[in-house]
Structure 1
Amino acid sequence: MRIQEQVNPSPMVVKLQLCIYPFFIYKLLGCFSVAIPPNLGELLVEENFEGESYFRGAKLQAATAYGFRVAELPVYEGTRSGRFELRDTDPEASGGTRAEFLFPEATKVKEGWYTFAAYFPTEDYQRDTSMDHINQWHQGKGSGSPALMLITENDEFFIFLKGKGLKHQRYALGEVRKDVWHRFAIHIVHSSGEDGMVEVWLNENKVLSYNGPTMYSGFGYPRWKVGLYKDDWNHSRTTDTQKRVYYIDDVKLICLDPGAAAAN
Structure 2
Amino acid sequence: MRILIFFIFISTYGSGFAQSANGKKGPVFKEGFENAADFLKGWYFVEYGLKDNISQVTKPVRAGQHAAKIQLKQDDPESNVGNKRSELVYNVSNNESGIDSTLRWYAFSNYFPKTYTTDDAEEIVAQWHDKSPECSASPTLAIEIKANRFRARIRYSTGNYCSNRESIVERSFDLGPVTKSKWNDWLVYYLPRTDSTGIVRIWKNRKLLLEYSGPAQYIGSWFPYFKVGLYKWSWMPDWKGTPSTTTSRSYYLDEVRIGRDSTGMRIRPKAK
Q: Segments of 4+ in structure 1 off by > 4 A? A: none
Residue 131 in structure 1 maps to residue 122 in structure 2 = yes
* Corresponding residue for residue 248 of structure 2: 243
The alpha carbon displacement at 1:22 in A equals 4.9
The alpha carbon displacement at 1:39 in A equals 5.6
* Corresponding residue for residue 25 of structure 2: 41
Larger proportion of helix:
1
TM (normalized to structure 2)? 0.76
Q: Map 1:1-264; keep pairs closer than 5 Å.
A: 21-23=10-12, 25=14, 41=25, 43-52=27-36, 53=38, 54-93=40-79, 94-105=81-92, 108-123=100-115, 125-141=116-132, 142-164=135-157, 167-235=169-237, 239-256=244-261
RCO (CA 8 Å, sep 6+): is it higher in 1 or 2?
Answer: 2
TM (normalized to structure 1)? 0.79
Q: CA RMSD in A?
A: 2.4
| 8 A Cα contact 2:73 2:249, kept in partner | yes
Alpha-carbon spacing, 1:24–1:163, altered in 2? closer, same or farther (3 Å): closer
Q: Any idea what the Cα deviations from partners look like across 1:190-213, whole Å, max 9, x if unmatched?
A: 111111100011111111100111
| 8 A Cα contact 1:109 1:255, kept in partner | no
Counterpart secondary structure, 1:167: strand
The alpha carbon displacement at 1:25 in A equals 4.9
Alpha-carbon spacing, 1:40–1:112, altered in 2? closer, same or farther (3 Å): farther
40-49 or 206-215: bigger deviation: 40-49
Counterpart secondary structure, 2:104: strand
Q: Name the % identity.
A: 26
Q: Any idea what the Cα deviations from partners look like across 1:28-77, whole Å, max 9, x if unmatched?
A: 9xxxxxxxxx9673522100111232241421110113210011111011
The alpha carbon displacement at 1:162 in A equals 2.5
Aligned residues: 227
| 8 A Cα contact 2:125 2:229, kept in partner | yes
| 8 A Cα contact 2:43 2:88, kept in partner | no
| 8 A Cα contact 1:110 1:189, kept in partner | no
Counterpart secondary structure, 1:70: strand
| 8 A Cα contact 1:110 1:191, kept in partner | no
Q: Unaligned 5+ residue runs, structure 1?
A: 1-19, 29-37, 258-264
Larger radius of gyration: 1
| 8 A Cα contact 1:40 1:256, kept in partner | no
Q: Unaligned 5+ residue runs, structure 2?
A: 1-8, 17-21, 93-97, 159-167, 263-272
Alpha-carbon spacing, 1:72–1:232, altered in 2? closer, same or farther (3 Å): same
